[in-house]
Amino acid sequence: MLDDDVPLPEAEVVHEIEDRQAVRDHSLLSIHNDPHRRLRFAPTWHADYATDVPCLLAVGGLFIPRFVVAFLGIFTHYFSVFDSFLWPLLGFFFLPTTTLAWAWALHTPSHSVHGVHLIIVILAFCVDVGIIGGGRSRLARRRRA
């Protein structure tokens, strides 16, 4: 234990501070690993723990529509509603959700994009360009704070 009234050599102070940090780190791990313990105050280290989850959601949001477009393009004739293979290929790289919505709208019984189908295509376009989801605006607000 450090006694504030007794001066210690510098080497002992550094060693004692490292021991305190080790004890603090160990206590945080033991609290985190105990599911039955309830904390009165939310620890600050827990907020940093969950910051990787939005990254996983963003990666899933980027690759799941592309995976579906690739799967449908390779194993089905779902994109036969397009005049050429160029449109689904461009859609794979630039607007995959819009490509899926457009192909879905053309596969409905009306075989056209109007009414509710047009609204769904517009919403898919907004998802692709980031208007819905607010990725950039949330990032900008987070950087300012």
Give, rounded to a whole angstrom, the gap between the first and last alpha carbons of the chain.
Answer: 39
Give me the chain's average pLDDT, please. 75
What's the CA gap between 71 and 67, in Å, rounded? 6
Q: Is the pTM of this model over 0.95?
A: no
Q: pLDDT by residue (tens digit) across 44-99? A: 444 445 566 777 777 888 899 999 999 999 999 999 999 999 999 999 999 999 99
What's the chain's length in residues?
Answer: 145
CA angle (31 as vertex; 30, 34 as ends), nearest 5:
85
